[in-house]
Amino acid sequence: MRFRKSAISAIFCIAALLPMTVIGRASTGAESRDVVQLTITFEVPDICRVNVGDQSFLMPKQDDALLATLKPLVKKGRVLSIVGGMDIPYRCIGHMIYTAQRAGFKKVGFIAEPPAAK
């Protein structure tokens, strides 16, 4: 349980340090058509997978392909929404924020999925 709380804290801390980052889709006031949603998953031992629509990318191995996919999706005022579980390592989230900024997104939102039922 301690790891999950620290992971969530880390996500909010990085968001506070990045002035162009907005936490939460609801706080942006954006309509759903102005939101680009992607999903991050983690596979043991160290694979961060990003799904954008029907395409899947491994980070950092396929960063160039992910960047090429994200750049055309950037429009003024459009928000990138990152969906992931609370068990996603910080390095995956941080790397995705960095890649989104390189693509040109000015706003990044987070949607945390609840932990799986035991």
| 3-34 pLDDT, tens digit each | 555 555 555 444 444 443 333 334 444 445 68
What is the token pair recorded at 54?
A: 């029907």
Q: What is the pTM of this model?
A: 0.67
pLDDT exceeds 50 at position 82: yes
DSSP 8-state class, residue 106: S
Name the phi and psi angles at 2, rounded to 5: -60, -40
pLDDT exceeds 60 at position 98: yes
Which domains does the chain show, CATH number per domain?
2-113 (3.30.420.270)
Instruction: Identify the residue whose tokens are 């889709």.
Output: 25
Angle ∠(85,89,90) on CA atoms, nearest 5: 110
Rounded CA-CA distance 113/109 in Å is 13
pLDDT number for residue 28: 40
Instruction: For residue 108, give the nearest of 58, 42, 37 by alpha carbon.
Output: 37
Rounded CA-CA distance 88/92 in Å is 7
Q: How many CB atoms lie within 10 A of CB 102?
A: 13
Instruction: Identify the residue whose tokens are 């390189």.
Output: 102
